[in-house]
């Protein structure tokens, strides 16, 4: 059985364990739950999977107010009521007021689509439970029109979570799971090469060093992650900062330039400046 | 062979079910991982493990199963015992005196013998249905699956030494919030502390308002929406860990679990014995990542309600004297810091897991109660209930 397999692309570096997780869930048609630090490319993964398998991507972004039902369909009773007051003929057919959700779209797609359910942990605690049957059987029932919607092709479902809420066991049972670890220096180098192929090696080396040093600073509220590093490098390139400016060993230039791209929290910046100040004093 | 792997995972506290096991077999049938241990490792992890906290447990079981490395200890018992379970046994079975004695003897063989004897004994009781053996997966000491070395006693003497060291250091684990049994009642008690407020997006149909507005609109529909009601109460939880609190780990975990799911705005910090100039959020990194209590008071406003959880059982000097803390030099006594926190958070209570009738016999509890002006309650359902009423009083 030869299915098109997912692998690293020219714009995304996938580690072997991630590749295996994606391929397993594609082959067995199970949803894949992806967790990991913010900024490690969870959402981007779905785009890359869709691109490398040549399938359409449907995105369903979850907010704290999202209900599971909205992913299936919504019955727009209000417009129907309004139309009835206006005497519109459309009002006779309830089907006119059924608005398809993302899941329905995915189920009715002509080819097998990739469906991204982004940040599922943002929703209400019961949200995953309400999707159990839909994810399991890939079908649901529309009560208003008495119609059973079945997936024409089981979509490849990728679900991301930031761990803000625990997900229920019954839901986890139905998913495969992968935790994206923070990349080690070697993987990081490959990721940067993919994004900035013409980066000067010495700049890369210095930048990575000060990046990993920064991650080691204890007590940071939000550690800088891959996406922040990439943003920072972009800035460094745009400003044409020489690699020497990043060298943090001499006490004076200990603050990496443009560090605002790496630290996203004023308390972190404050803490960091204090540490640098202490370092300078010690260096004297 | 895979069935045994499956059972070992379960024994080690990785919650795998039959569905997942069948899914793994299906995946193998689909030739997702053929004849490569590395691939199989990733595949089985993806299919079987659903939480990164269990990765460590999985790794250990995988290693033990597939490298055929059976620890000498397990061989001696003729059974596969998960390290965590063993560790917990060791802690429960050997009293501190015994541990000290063994350490004094310097003989790990003696230690092994004692453990083994105890374990044999314990197994009989297991048949009798002593429940805490079955709860190995929820062992407080295994909380987040970080069990460096564990009691992998055996293999070589170097290992053995490190194992002893590990369990001497183990005291400060993060509380596992995965304890469900018994938390329902606590949740119900915590429910007393509710302050409903309508905040956020207007989502809910305001029926009365809609009828009113529609009538005013001469029968044309005019919908009115209001935001949903949420529990808007904010809680700051301070938990004592380590030392004399070890005996209360279970009940504290239950409280913590219940509080986590009950309050939307819950911040928690740990302290040791009494409140001083710093608190911390992660017990594994408690020496590196501390938050100054002053900064904490600046960060969280007085609308937070503070709940301290601790047995307040210590030398009275730990509260009253500068430098009284048992682990660092504190310039100002704990009493001053508690007073500051009390001022910062006028709504506060102290929950004490020690039984209420013992309070009079422990001088430090008396001191703490004096400082708190009586706002100390026992960590029982009734006590929580009373405490929540006290927090609710305006």
Virtual torsion, Cα B380, B386, B390, B394, nearest 10 deg:
140
Of A24, A30, A85, nearest to B221 by CB-CB distance is A85
Weakly modelled stretches of chain B, pLDDT under 70: 1, 34-35, 67-202, 285, 394
User: Residue A251 pLDDT > 80, yes or no?
Assistant: no
Q: Lowest mean pLDDT: which of A33-47, A146-160, B83-97, B141-155?
A: B141-155
**Is residue B269 within 8 Å of B337, Cβ to Cβ?**
no
Yes or no, beta carbons of A177 and B38 under 8 Å apart: no
Q: Does B18 touch chain A (CB under 8 A)?
A: no
Q: C-alpha distances in angstroms, B280 versus A37, A179, A219, B285?
A: 21, 26, 10, 8
Q: Please report the pLDDT score of residue B140 as a whole number.
A: 32
Yes or no, beta carbons of A17 and B42 under 8 Å apart: yes
User: In chain B, what are the helix, strand and coil shares in percent, each to the nearest 5?
Assistant: 55, 15, 35
Higher pLDDT, A226 or B93: A226
d(CA B327, CA B310) in angstroms, rounded, equals 17
Mean pLDDT, rounded, of chain A: 82
- Can you tell me the ipTM of this complex? 0.74
Sketch the domain layout of chain B as residue ranges.
2-76, 90-167, 185-192+232-393, 198-230
Residues 6 or more apart in contact with residue A280 via CB below 8 angstroms: A251, A252, A254
Yes or no, beta carbons of B50 and A65 under 8 Å apart: no
Yes or no, beta carbons of B32 and A20 under 8 Å apart: yes
Higher pLDDT, A99 or A263: A99
pLDDT confidence tier of residue A114, bands split at 50, 70 and 90 = very high
Q: What is the pTM of this model?
A: 0.55
Q: Which residues of B touch A124 (CB under 8 A)?
A: none
Question: Using one digit for the tens of pLDDT, what is the confidence trace for A255-270?
Answer: 677 777 787 777 777 7
3-class secondary-structure state, position A180: strand
Q: C-alpha distances in angstroms, A96 versus A69, B122, B222?
A: 18, 68, 22
Q: Which residues of B touch A176 (CB under 8 A)?
A: 23, 46-47
Q: Which residues of A touch B32 (CB under 8 A)?
A: 20, 23-24, 27-28
Q: How far is B274 from chain A (nearest CA, A)?
A: 22
**Is residue B312 within 8 Å of B318, Cβ to Cβ?**
no
CATH number of B185-192+232-393: 3.40.50
d(CA B353, CA B247) in angstroms, rounded, equals 9
3-class secondary-structure state, position B12: coil
Q: How far is B293 from chain A (nearest CA, A)?
A: 14
Q: Does B29 touch chain A (CB under 8 A)?
A: no
pLDDT confidence tier of residue A188, bands split at 50, 70 and 90 = confident
* Terminal Cα distance for chain B, rounded: 63
DSSP output for B163-218: HHHHHHHTT-PPPP----TTHHHHHHHHTTS--EEEEEEEEEE-HHHHHHHHHHTT
**Is residue A104 within 8 Å of A72, Cβ to Cβ?**
yes
Radius of gyration of chain A (CA): 24
Q: Which residues of A touch B31 (CB under 8 A)?
A: 1
**Is residue B365 within 8 Å of B313, Cβ to Cβ?**
yes
Of B23, B201, B220, nearest to A28 by CB-CB distance is B23
**Is residue A258 within 8 Å of A233, Cβ to Cβ?**
no
d(CA A16, CA B201) in angstroms, rounded, equals 43
């Amino acid at each position: 059985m030869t299915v098109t397999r997912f692998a690293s692309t020219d714009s995304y570096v996938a580690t072997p364990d991630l590749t295996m997780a994606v391929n397993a869930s594609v082959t067995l048609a199970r949803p894949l739950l992806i967790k990991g630090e913010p900024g490690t490319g969870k959402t981007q993964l779905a785009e890359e999977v869709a691109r490398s398998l040549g399938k359409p991507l449907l995105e369903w972004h979850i907010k704290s107010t999202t209900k599971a039902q909205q992913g299936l369909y919504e019955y727009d009773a209000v417009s129907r009521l309004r139309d009835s007051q206006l005497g519109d003929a459309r009002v006779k057919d309830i089907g006119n007021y059924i608005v398809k959700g993302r899941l329905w779209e995915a189920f009715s797609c002509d080819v097998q689509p990739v469906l991204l359910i982004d940040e599922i942990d943002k929703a209400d605690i019961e949200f995953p439970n309400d999707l159990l049957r839909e994810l399991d059987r890939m079908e649901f029932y529309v009560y208003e029109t008495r119609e059973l919607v079945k997936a024409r092709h089981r979509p490849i479902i990728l679900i991301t979570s930031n761990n803000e809420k625990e997900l229920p066991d019954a839901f986890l049972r139905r998913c495969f799971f992968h935790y994206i670890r923070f990349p080690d220096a070697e993987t990081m180098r490959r990721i940067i090469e993919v994004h900035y192929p013409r980066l000067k090696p010495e700049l890369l080396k210095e930048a990575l060093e000060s990046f990993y040093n920064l991650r080691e600073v204890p007590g940071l509220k939000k550690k800088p992650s891959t996406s922040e590093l990439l943003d920072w490098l972009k800035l460094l390139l745009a400003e044409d900062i020489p690699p020497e400016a990043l060298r943090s060993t001499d006490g004076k230039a200990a603050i990496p330039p443009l560090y605002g791209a790496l630290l996203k929290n004023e308390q972190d910046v404050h803490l960091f400046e204090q540490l640098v100040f202490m370092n300078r004093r010690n260096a004297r | 062979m895979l069935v045994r792997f499956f059972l070992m995972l379960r024994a080690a506290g990785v919650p795998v079910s039959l569905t997942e096991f069948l899914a793994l077999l299906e995946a193998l049938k689909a030739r997702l991982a053929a004849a490569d241990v590395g691939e199989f490792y990733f595949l089985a992890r993806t299919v079987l493990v659903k939480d990164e906290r269990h990765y460590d447990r999985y790794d250990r079981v995988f290693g033990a199963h597939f490298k055929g490395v059976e620890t000498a200890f397990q061989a001696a018992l003729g059974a596969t015992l998960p390290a965590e379970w063993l560790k917990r046994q060791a802690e429960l079975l050997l009293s501190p005196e015994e541990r000290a004695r063994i350490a004094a003897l310097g003989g790990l063989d003696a230690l092994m013998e004692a453990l083994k004897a105890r374990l044999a004994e314990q197994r009989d009781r297991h048949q009798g249905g002593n429940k805490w053996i079955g709860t190995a997966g929820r062992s407080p000491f295994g909380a987040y699956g970080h069990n460096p070395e564990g009691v992998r006693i055996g293999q070589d003497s170097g290992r053995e030494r490190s194992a002893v060291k590990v369990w001497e250091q183990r005291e400060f684990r993060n509380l596992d919030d995965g304890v469900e049994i018994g938390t329902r009642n606590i949740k119900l008690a915590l429910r007393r502390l509710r302050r409903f407020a309508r905040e956020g997006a207007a989502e809910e149909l305001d029926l009365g308002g809609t009828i009113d507005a529609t009538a005013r609109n001469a029968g044309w529909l005019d919908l009115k929406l209001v935001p949903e009601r949420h529990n808007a109460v904010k809680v700051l939880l301070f938990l004592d860990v380590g030392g004399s609190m070890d005996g209360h780990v279970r009940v504290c975990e239950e409280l913590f679990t219940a509080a986590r799911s009950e309050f939307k705005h819950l911040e928690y910090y740990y302290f040791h014995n009494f409140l001083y100039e710093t608190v911390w959020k992660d017990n594994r990194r408690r020496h590196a990542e501390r938050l100054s209590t002053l900064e904490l008071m600046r960060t969280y406003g007085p609308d937070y309600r503070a709940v301290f959880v601790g047995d307040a059982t210590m030398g009275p000097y730990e509260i009253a004297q500068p430098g009284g803390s048992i682990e660092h030099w504190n310039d100002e006594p704990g009493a001053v810091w508690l007073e500051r926190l009390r001022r910062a958070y006028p709504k506060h209570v102290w929950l004490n897991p020690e039984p209420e009738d013992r309070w009079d016999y422990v001088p430090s509890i008396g001191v703490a109660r004096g400082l708190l002006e009586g706002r100390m309650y026992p960590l029982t359902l009734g006590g929580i209930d009373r405490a929540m009423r006290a927090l609710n009083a305006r």
